[in-house]
Amino acid sequence: MAMISDNIRGSLLMMGSMASFTLNDACMKALSDELPLAQAIFLRGVGTTVLLFVLARSLGGLRFDLPWRDWRLIWVRNVTEIAAAYFFLAALFHMPIANVTAILQVLPLTVTLAGAVFLGQAVGWRRLTAILVGLFGVLLIVRPGFAGFNFYSLYVLAAVVMVTIRDILARKLSDQVPTMTVAFLNAVSVMAVFGVISAFQDWAPLSPKAAMQLGGASILIIGGYIFSVSAMRVGEIAVIAPFRYTALLWALVLGLLVFAEWPDALTLAGSAVIVVMGVYTFYRERRISRENAAG
Which stretches within the chain are classed as H helix?
6-30, 37-59, 68-94, 97-104, 107-118, 125-142, 152-172, 179-199, 208-231, 237-240, 246-259, 265-294
Q: Which residues touch 256 (CB under 8 Å, ≥6 apart)?
A: 262
Average pLDDT, stretch 201-221?
A: 93
| Selected residue with higher pLDDT from 154 and 59 | 154
Dist. CA 137–CA 140, nearest whole Å: 5
For the entire predicted model, the pTM comes to 0.86
- Helix (H/G/I), strand (E/B), else coil: 280: helix
What is the mean pLDDT of the segment spanning 41-56?
A: 91
Identify which has the larger pLDDT, 268 or 115: 268
What's the whole-number mean pLDDT along residues 61-67?
Answer: 86
Is 148 a residue whose pLDDT tops 70?
no
Can you tell me the distance from the alpha carbon of 202 to that of 198, in angstroms, rounded to the nearest whole number?
8
Q: Is residue 223 over pLDDT 90?
A: no
Using CA atoms, how far apart are residues 264 and 278, in angstroms rounded to an integer? 21
% of the chain beyond a pLDDT of 70: 91
206 alpha-carbon distance from chain centroid: 27
In a 3-state reduction of DSSP, which class is residue 196? Answer: helix
pLDDT of 1 above 50: no
The confidence band for 39, taking pLDDT boundaries of 50, 70 and 90, is very high
Mean pLDDT (the chain) is 86
**What is the distance in angstroms between the CA of the first residue and the CA of the last residue of the chain?**
37
For the chain, the structural domain boundaries read: 16-294
DSSP 242: G
pLDDT tens digits, 275-291: 998 888 877 777 776 76
Position 119 scores a pLDDT of 66
For residue 34, pLDDT over 50 is answered with yes
Average pLDDT over residues 138-157: 83
207: left (phi over 0), alpha (psi -120 to 50) or beta: beta
In Å, how far from its chain's centre is CA 129? 24
pLDDT at 157: 94
- Give mean pLDDT, residues 269-274: 92
Q: What is the pLDDT of residues 234-243, one digit of tens each?
A: 767 667 778 8
Each residue of 89-106: pLDDT tens digit? 999 999 999 999 999 988
